[in-house]
Structure 1
């Protein structure tokens, strides 16, 4: 059963998000550190970053199963990735995990 982990970075007045660092440095680290645990791929969506959207960035991590995701999130790499957030965002993400219930 396919699983998705979604990270939503909220937009707040005065908050900052360095999308260039995120794409060029943080996400390659995610791929390197989570790849051995079964991360299939990732994608990042950037939103308007104003009051019309409650979020500025959404990241989707694609996994084959929940055990892989749980193993990755329990790794030393996960700690490094959490500590790296301060290098690109002034807000912490909202995390959601779900099983694919349907798709085309």
Structure 2
């Protein structure tokens, strides 16, 4: 019981401290939310323009998703989990949505314009993984 109270206190005070400093707090992703991860594998000679991806491509796609979108994240690859091994992914973009069918309905008609935009930031064919958050 005491441990739970301490953890709750720490979480609450951390959140209030972030708010008081004008920093956004991270939204909690709940069980049942759909996660769509767009992963860009590393390979010699491949390129990725993170600035374009962050400021143009991902906001464009997020705009297509409307109120179904819970949040999205962008990750820049730094290293492999095994030292001295190649980076597995240059970048990963993730959309968290409430409904897979609503996601597919929103993306389907925009698919060609999304794919046409790839050449503006990368020469990598992404790997897409759709999953359900279970915890």
TM-score (norm 1): 0.86
Runs of 4+ in 1 over 6 A off after TM superposition: none
Q: CA deviation at 1:67?
A: 1.2
Q: Tell me which protein shows more strand as a share of its residues.
A: 1
Residue range with higher mean Cα deviation, 2-11 or 43-52? 43-52
User: Counterpart in 2 of 1:94?
Assistant: 127
- The two structures, once aligned, show a CA RMSD in angstroms of 1.7
User: Counterpart in 2 of 1:48?
Assistant: 78
Q: How many residues align?
A: 100
Q: CA deviation at 1:70?
A: 1.5
Q: Which runs of 5+ in 1 are unaligned?
A: none
Partner Cα separation in structure 1 for residue 108 and residue 62 of structure 2: 16
TM-score (norm 2): 0.68
Alignment of 1:1-104 (within 5 A): 1-35=32-66, 38-48=68-78, 51-75=85-109, 77-102=110-135
Q: Which runs of 5+ in 2 are unaligned?
A: 1-31
